[in-house]
Structure 1
């Protein structure tokens, strides 16, 4: 794909949250294509950057992008004062998640993390901690998010709630006590999950919950403001009262590919996307989920309850590893988690296998250093 006329070509993900606001403000400057959520989560970033000028990406793709040299560093295009202002104004670690090796590679267009989604008309107030989630699962349909990479992301988030961030060092994924406790908890909940929920991505789970009575609660699912009129979103569960809500940061960043030759007009457009006008007003009015803390705190923001009820989780979300082998590890580790939950492998064996996969994902990085 090559530029036609003065238009730039961008790629985002196929959901109103990922597309509508970008398309509404693009004019003739940027033509936006879309890819499915699964492509956004796993498609090789260098292949996308070879075809597009702007790419909406997830922060774990940075290691792969830096290894292949497919992104343009943004500190060459924006001032340090601008970058510092956006960093200070972004909720949680959203801006920092796109910084690596001392440079900024994307700007946080959208903020999201795993939170709880509940049909309060069916079950009442959302459970606040994991013991309450367990109790709810004995009387109502509760499901974990396990499809694609989300099985490992759920594992990681529960570990965070239990007090241990995964991958704190290069050799160790998570300790025995934490890892086994997480798998035991997940297995308890998965054993009573409604049939068919294990294969649904976050959008599928939220569609099921909002459109039927077949699912009443998902304790960890990426929050989508577009469902806030039908579901109650709240902070991710803690392990105990006053503890940290365990959650894995998601959201999206907007990056410029190495092939892009940005015009002053394009850079002005990107600046505008990070402005208070866009973040606090335009994006929320066009199905977007802004990254600016001011939008999450503003009582005037569309679906203000969604932001108010989940901001604490977003502020404390865990940032995934970003080395070049991480995406492949995330996929393989999720398969191991699903096998453990299905009883196909013991929990100790599953934990050992995930550790081996994590170590193997780091070996190419170590050889290059």
Structure 2
């Protein structure tokens, strides 16, 4: 009999379904979940957490550090090929590919999310389709941008992708001309945002959009199905020439090396990804499923006020961030540089120079353990 403990993030989308499914999981084994803040989920060192927890809910850019420190178990060794192949075929967008490295699968994609747009129809009846239309709204003070924590850099990345760059290149993160245009666009979108919105994480921004009524449109923010309603409408981000730019997030469940997983624990985790659980149990408990069967289910979509059908094309085309050791600190510093440029505290050229210098100092793919 083993008592397993996992760590997830403290939001109904992150904890409710996991907690409801936990407890006695079979063969006398038990599982309980503890929570950390969204900021901890985004930046806490994985190797330290892996010493204290058997399961970790993490984002794919943590893989580089996790593999460099030998913190996780390779799931290829724990789940049969036919099960993993079914997950790979059924997962929405790159939500499972983002947890693959060196031929190994290192986390189960429980939750799928990417940056999408959101609007308050009472203020913005029709969603802007192009960045130019979004700028018109921004000039009227109706637009907020997601700039807190790592999100300034993530918003910048998504705009850069939408403007046509292929990322990352061999020795640089972005094409310089495109990145300059993206940073200028993010600056202009942010220029007249309601006061204080630049300090809010995505949850805070969505709360404010819903509660205060001074935000009409956010062009790039991680989608949260729990906010979808007739008064909070999600959709694709604006584009230029029809190209969607979005940086995938979501969460995966990784098994650490702290305690060997039991057959009961593995059955429990596999059950979370079953079509029945993904279409029923997960949505009923405020979760955001990772399998396409749920995203394309008419009943699931209707209950979510059209969230899934409105954002499916965005997640299917989303960009996967680099997964190298040191990426998480790099992302945090790059985000601070983007914020400084957006606020006028750094010149765009200086900010982009430092971002590229720090990116170039990260290990290459060939240097990452598999």
Q: Tell me the TM-score normalized by structure 2.
A: 0.95
Which residue in the other structure is 1:181 paired with? 181
Cα offset for 1:168? Answer: 2.9
Q: What runs of 5+ residues in structure 1 fail to find an aligned partner?
A: none
Question: What is the aligned-residue RMSD (CA, Å)?
Answer: 1.6
Cα offset for 1:140? Answer: 4.1
C-alpha deviations, 1:143-193, integer Å up to 9, x for none? 110001001000100011011133232x21112210110111111111111
Please list, as runs of the form range in 1=range in 2, the aligned pairs for 1:166-315 lying within 5 A after superposition.
166-169=167-170, 171-229=171-229, 230-240=231-241, 243-301=242-300, 302-303=303-304, 305-315=306-316
C-alpha deviations, 1:98-117, integer Å up to 9, x for none? 00011010010000000001
Alignment pair present for 1:35 and 2:36: yes
**What is the SS of the residue equivalent to 2:298?**
coil
**CA distance in structure 2 between the partners assigned to 1:250 and 1:160 by the alignment:** 15
Which residue in the other structure is 2:354 paired with? 353
Cα offset for 1:364? Answer: 11
**CA distance in structure 2 between the partners assigned to 1:238 and 1:89 by the alignment:** 27
**What is the SS of the residue equivalent to 1:221?**
strand
Alignment pair present for 1:22 and 2:23: no
**CA distance in structure 1 between the partners assigned to 2:167 and 2:340 by the alignment:** 20
**Count of residue correspondences:** 362
Q: Larger deviation: 198-207 or 157-166?
A: 157-166
Cα offset for 1:345? Answer: 1.6
C-alpha deviations, 1:53-108, integer Å up to 9, x for none? 01100000001000000101101010111111001100000001000011010010
**What is the SS of the residue equivalent to 2:361?**
helix
CA contact (8 A) 2:46 2:62 kept: yes
Distance 1:12 1:367, change over 3 A: closer
Q: Larger deviation: 358-367 or 127-136?
A: 358-367
**What is the SS of the residue equivalent to 2:169?**
coil
Q: What runs of 5+ residues in structure 2 fail to find an aligned partner?
A: 25-29
**CA distance in structure 1 between the partners assigned to 2:166 and 2:278 by the alignment:** 30
Cα offset for 1:42? Answer: 0.4
CA contact (8 A) 1:325 1:361 kept: yes
Q: Tell me the TM-score normalized by structure 1.
A: 0.95
Give the 4+ runs in structure 1 shifted more than 3 A. 363-369
**CA distance in structure 1 between the partners assigned to 2:346 and 2:236 by the alignment:** 32
C-alpha deviations, 1:15-51, integer Å up to 9, x for none? 0000000001112321100000000000000111110
C-alpha deviations, 1:196-219, integer Å up to 9, x for none? 011100000000001111111100
